[in-house]
A and B are shown apart, each in its own frame.
Chain A
Amino acid sequence: MMPLSQALSLGAFLFCLIALLYMLLQVRHLPHQRDIAPPRGRWWEGIVYAFTKALLPWSKESSARHLVSYLAGAVFHLSTFFALFLFFLSFWLKSVPASLKAWGSLGLWAGLLCGFGLLLKRIFTPYLRSLSCPDDYFSNALVEAFLLVSWLSLREGNFPPYFYLIAVIFFIYLPLGKLRHALFCLYARAVWGGFFGRRGVLSLWEAKGIEER
């Protein structure tokens, strides 16, 4: 029989999934103005651009200028995805293999350091502080707590109840606060790419044509 902490975390995950799905359906049902004007470029090219070239650190001035923050953000996110992967894996794994322990610990530590760095930046940079609300700090701290318990679990070689309890808080809070960007930022990125791709502004290839397509 599944331990209580595991069952709770699974319930929280289901809550998170249903809440996000509900939000997604809510958004899908809102009025939407399709662009009627004939396209100049290809919308799909813009979307491909948005999820490939646009992610490269040097493709946007903002990421190139703030390279350290951008890379820290990337590592923090990748590390979070890894912690989520561990969470799902924990339902099948009885003990953690040595290779996963070594590399996983490294990844989680990198994520923790990057996340903590970003938290410090938010606290000590005046312009970022002025942009932030408690949700911003709490969301960062919650993800870091999740990374920390994931690392501790790897170190111990099994997944103790506190790992699942932090996961419960993480999954319940995700659709309520800023962390829901996990869903919406993918959507926003696709809309961004489609919009500017259709207008012929974003292109996968450097040279843009001088004629309308």
Chain B
Amino acid sequence: MEAIANHRFTLESLSKSITRRLAILVNSCVHCGLCSDSCHYYLAENNSRFIPAFRTDRLSSLFRRYHTWLGRRIPFWVGAKEVDALTLKELTDTIFGECTMCGRCAINCSIGMDIGFLIREARKILVELDQVPRGLQSAVDKAVTTGNNMAITEEELIGTLQWLEEELQQEVGDTWAKIPLNKAGARVLYTLNPREPKFFPLSIIAIAKIFYAADEDWTLSSTNFDATNYAYYSGDDQAARTIARRLVDEAEKLGARILAVTECGHAYRSIRWEAPNWLGKRFDFQAKSILELIAEYLREGRIRLDPSANSKPTTLHDPCNLVRYGGVVEVQRYILRKAVSNFVEMHPNRERNFCCGGGGGLLSMSEYAELRLKAGRAKVEQIRQAGAKVVATPCHNCIDQLMELNKNYNLRIEVKTIGEIIADALILPSGQINPSSDYPSKKG
């Protein structure tokens, strides 16, 4: 009982920090239910608890209870609920375990409610109530205490990069090819998802090869290299600020003009769109997706591709945070049309694309893994209908989820980053087509 009383007190004190946008949205939903089948969870489970409006109502019902005249006097009439009636476990399951904050319902809402925003606001409350699922909180804690979400030490990273540099030199046949580290004054500071050095080092080589071919002046940081920001997912703005500040400080310290974010949807969104708000300033450098840089190289003729090196039918999965919430919509299509000979769109696509189910930090919350894989069914159907053999996606979270879907639903596809596909089609400055195209699939 004491815990519930504390939670109620916390909720009441949090109510002082209600923002304008939140207040508008919780007063707007008309419970029309038209959002239902825009959600991949609802499509997979056909259960009303997975309707986006039902999820947001968990938050709105609290708002109505404490902040509306009728809610205070006749709560049942307006569906207002007290924190003890909700049970925090249910709220946590709904807000963390049953939504990837993909925003597909927001694009489709008949009113125009950004439901992804509301879910994150609810997560912020759950942060205050200490209800963040352990796996997600652990990723945030690691990033805050060690500098990256996989606790990779500087020595480990340097060791991996040295090995990758040797590989790069062999592949391009040039002993001067480098993976520069901590280079002050470099034009581009490239950032990684820690999964790359840990599990997918070939995706780092792929980008290094592209930089090499484009003769880019670039660098990596040996300490502040992690582009991800799981605190964005958890709703912990304070931690998100700490994590984002490190990258910003690093880019400013090295004097980079461009901070290039690896192929990672939420990392791009965090640093490009959210970090200026968290830190209260515009940056002296440009935050760009690596895809935008690659498109520049292609347009300027700094790299050339041979699409015949990628002849298998290839489709594209649009990561929600990069596309729907990030606005990077056409760049990846422009690149893929130049890098593969048989590009097919899946439908729907672009900002209407279905979430794969791996966003929202769900991959780090093992307790919801079964539901996450079920929720990927809409994506599985899209891939099957596209008839592609290769699924390209510029996001490491999506890659992990798509690989699991591939295994669980026996899709028989290869899942690749766009960088890997380009590296396979790259015509090196020597005129040689990239020899690594004979490599077996990196992600199958």
Interface segment among A87-95, A124-132, A144-152: the answer is A124-132
Whether B439 sits at the interface, judged by CB under 8 Å, is no
Report whether A210 and B331 are in contact in the complex, using a CB–CB cutoff of 8 Å: yes
Give the A-B contact count at a CB cut-off of 8 A. Answer: 171
Whether A156 sits at the interface, judged by CB under 8 Å, is no
| Proximity bits, B298-328, A CB within 8 Å = 1, else 0 | 0000000000000000000000000111110
Whether B440 sits at the interface, judged by CB under 8 Å, is no
Among B262-283, those with CB < 8 Å from A are 272-277, 280-282
Report whether A195 and B114 are in contact in the complex, using a CB–CB cutoff of 8 Å: yes
Whether B106 sits at the interface, judged by CB under 8 Å, is yes
Q: Number of contact residues on A: which range applies?
A: 35 or more
Report whether A185 and B277 are in contact in the complex, using a CB–CB cutoff of 8 Å: no
Report whether B27 and A181 are in contact in the complex, using a CB–CB cutoff of 8 Å: yes
By a CB distance below 8 angstroms, the chain A residues around B29 are 181
Whether B100 sits at the interface, judged by CB under 8 Å, is no
A59 CB to nearest chain B CB (Å) = 10
B48 CB to nearest chain A CB (Å) = 4
Report whether A60 and B79 are in contact in the complex, using a CB–CB cutoff of 8 Å: no
Determine the residue in chain B with the shortest Cβ distance to A39: B327
Interface segment among A4-12, A23-31, A100-108, A160-168: the answer is A23-31
Report how far A185 CA is from B29 CA in the complex, Å: 8
Whether A157 sits at the interface, judged by CB under 8 Å, is no
Known contacts A61-B38, A127-B48, A176-B70; decide if A31 and B324 are in contact (CB<8 Å): no
Report whether A192 and B113 are in contact in the complex, using a CB–CB cutoff of 8 Å: yes
Whether B57 sits at the interface, judged by CB under 8 Å, is yes
B286 CB to nearest chain A CB (Å) = 8
Whether B292 sits at the interface, judged by CB under 8 Å, is yes
Report whether A37 and B57 are in contact in the complex, using a CB–CB cutoff of 8 Å: no
Does more than half of chain A's interface fall in helix, strand or loop, or is it mixed? helix
Report how far A202 CA is from B76 CA in the complex, Å: 38
Report how far A192 CA is from B24 CA in the complex, Å: 11
A112 CB to nearest chain B CB (Å) = 18
Known contacts A41-B327, A60-B108, A192-B106; decide if A35 and B28 are in contact (CB<8 Å): no
Determine the residue in chain B with the shortest Cβ distance to A200: B327
Contact of A70 among B34, B106, B330 (CB under 8 A): B34
By a CB distance below 8 angstroms, the chain B residues around A195 are 114
Report how far A67 CA is from B43 CA in the complex, Å: 18
Report whether A185 and B21 are in contact in the complex, using a CB–CB cutoff of 8 Å: no
Report whether A201 and B110 are in contact in the complex, using a CB–CB cutoff of 8 Å: no
By a CB distance below 8 angstroms, the chain A residues around B325 are 199, 201
By a CB distance below 8 angstroms, the chain B residues around A180 are 27
By a CB distance below 8 angstroms, the chain B residues around A23 are 27
Contact of B17 among A31, A128, A177, A183 (CB under 8 A): A31
Known contacts A40-B327, A201-B327, A210-B295; decide if A27 and B112 are in contact (CB<8 Å): no
- When A and B form their complex, which 6 residue pairs have the shortest distance between CB atoms, in order from nearest? A133-B79, A200-B327, A192-B112, A189-B112, A36-B276, A62-B108
Show 19 A/B contacts (Cβ-Cβ < 8 Å), sorted by A: A35-B276, A36-B281, A37-B273, A62-B35, A62-B37, A62-B108, A62-B109, A63-B110, A73-B32, A131-B51, A131-B54, A178-B30, A180-B27, A184-B24, A188-B28, A192-B106, A192-B112, A199-B273, A202-B351
11 further contact pairs, Cβ within 8 A, besides A132-B31, A136-B31: A30-B22, A32-B21, A33-B19, A37-B287, A38-B282, A62-B108, A131-B48, A176-B68, A188-B113, A191-B112, A210-B330
Please report A residues at the B interface, Cβ cutoff 8 Å.
23, 26-28, 30-33, 35-38, 40-41, 50, 54, 60-63, 65-66, 69-70, 73, 125-128, 130-136, 138, 176-178, 180-181, 183-185, 187-189, 191-193, 195-196, 199-202, 207-212
